[in-house]
Structure 1
Amino acid sequence: MLSPGARDVRRIPLATPGLRVGLFGGSFNPAHEAHRAASLLALHRLKLDRVWWLVTPGNPLKDNRQLPSLEERVAFARRVANHPRIDVTGCEAALGVRYTYETIDILTRRMPQVRFVWIMGADNLAQFHRWQRWRAIAERLPMVVVDRMGQSLTATATPAALALARWRIDEQDAAALLDRPTPSWVFLHGLKSPLSSTGIRAAQRLGVAPQGR
């Protein structure tokens, strides 16, 4: 039986019909200021009501043997997020899913009147074609890609970005993204943080304090 704290970590955030919610998935190992900045940018530019950080039990494309516990990562992510409109949850563990498409399928079926959008960094767009059923994800939800330092040109020239190029909307129309039929996506510039979870872990191994949270 799960403890009350563990149940809280795995609880799906509350959402009322019509709410505009951004889904931001990842290992968050660890969460950092660039995750927060990307979320706030999406909240503002897409006129979202909330952003949910979906802290995954483990990334199928990564080695998870050294991954801290879900409870540790959620607790730290909540301290980093520190915003009334960002909800941090490990609900994928309770849902028993492994892939992003499965999470999206369950959430959209359980909450059909909530208007979801998928948020990812440009580094994830670069490998999006490796995700399980990535085309189905694009068909299911609109997507927003947030710029990362040094990723703008390379990310938009990768297989998934090229395959979806005809459905990319102009950045100035970002606020209307959730009102458009899928597939539909937008690339948001303006965020050039050098922070990454990989870089932070490397700095920690070397005993160096990375810049930012």
Structure 2
Amino acid sequence: MTVRIGLYFGSFNPIHNGHLIIANHVAEYGNVDKIWFVVSPQNPLKETKSLLNEYDRLHLVKLAIQDNERFHASDIEFKLPRPSYTIDTLTYLSEHFPQHQFKVIMGSDSFQNIGRWKNHDVLLRDYELILYKRPGFEVTGTNSNVTMLAAPLLEISSTYLRTQIRDKKSIRYLTPDIVADYIHENRYYL
């Protein structure tokens, strides 16, 4: 039996409730069986100076999702050449897990930059994309491999959380308590 996996790529620096709400919505409405949070060690389109160590970010993801059997934290990109390119990860996963069907979860903001992605034409041709709408980033002219979802969104970001932490402000209710406590105990992002 084919297992449909929604791949949610991200730095998760740190993971927050906005990520979890989107993942849960895709799990419910995106025609997938499981969501894999693929922690990216290095996004080729983002700066890395404020990036927490990838194993620490992976641990925070594991803490955040530990009570949801449909969610899985993946370190697959830790083992692949860097920087991480989505198409390379998909190729690797498709070869090593032929029993799974992989779909890519992304925001409409990321989709607007897809022309800058490595082998984006192959990605669009061979893989289904599940897009969630982001305000101000409308998507038009998609193909049959693209599914649009209107997931509930929170106006929070990992950048905002890092700023709150540096300013010694609370991040309670922005990320699961277990994640907030672990960040505080380990003095991450200070």
Deviations 1:70-101 (A, max 9, x none): 11000111111231110001111113352111
> Which of 72, 85, 91 does residue 70 from structure 2 map onto?
85
- Rounded to whole Å, the distance in 2 between the matches of 1:117 and 1:48 is 8
> Which of 108, 124, 129 does residue 110 from structure 2 map onto?
124
| TM-score of the superposed pair, with normalisation by structure 1 | 0.74
> Which of 38, 47, 50 does residue 54 from structure 1 map onto?
38
Indicate whether 1:95 and 2:56 are aligned. no
User: Which runs of 5 or more structure 2 residues have no equivalent in the other structure?
Assistant: 176-190
Residue 129 of structure 2: aligned partner: 143
Q: Could you tell me whether the CA contact under 8 Å between 2:22 and 2:153 is conserved in 1? A: no
> Which of 162, 169, 188 does residue 149 from structure 2 map onto?
188
Deviations 1:107-140 (A, max 9, x none): 1122223111100123322333322222221112
Deviations 1:139-161 (A, max 9, x none): 1210011234xx2xx322xxxx4
Deviation at 1:68, TM superposition (A): 1.1
Residue 57 of structure 2: aligned partner: 73
User: Which runs of 5 or more structure 1 residues have no equivalent in the other structure?
Assistant: 1-16, 168-182
Indicate whether 1:212 and 2:174 are aligned. yes
Residue 134 of structure 1: aligned partner: 120
Deviation at 1:202, TM superposition (A): 2.5
Deviation at 1:66, TM superposition (A): 2.7
Deviations 1:147-186 (A, max 9, x none): 34xx2xx322xxxx44xx141xxxxxxxxxxxxxxx5112
Deviation at 1:207, TM superposition (A): 2.7
- Rounded to whole Å, the distance in 2 between the matches of 1:166 and 1:36 is 26
The one-letter code sitting in structure 2 at the alignment partner of 1:204 is I
SS at match of 1:29: coil
Question: What root-mean-square deviation, in Å, do the aligned CA atoms of Structure 1 and Structure 2 show?
Answer: 1.8
SS at match of 1:109: helix
Comparing both structures, which one devotes a greater share of its residues to helix? 1
| Residues 1:131 and 1:202: Cα distance change in structure 2 (over 3 Å) | farther
| TM-score of the superposed pair, with normalisation by structure 2 | 0.82
Q: Could you tell me whether the CA contact under 8 Å between 2:38 and 2:74 is conserved in 1? A: yes
Q: Could you tell me whether the CA contact under 8 Å between 2:8 and 2:35 is conserved in 1? A: yes
> Which of 163, 186, 199 does residue 160 from structure 2 map onto?
199
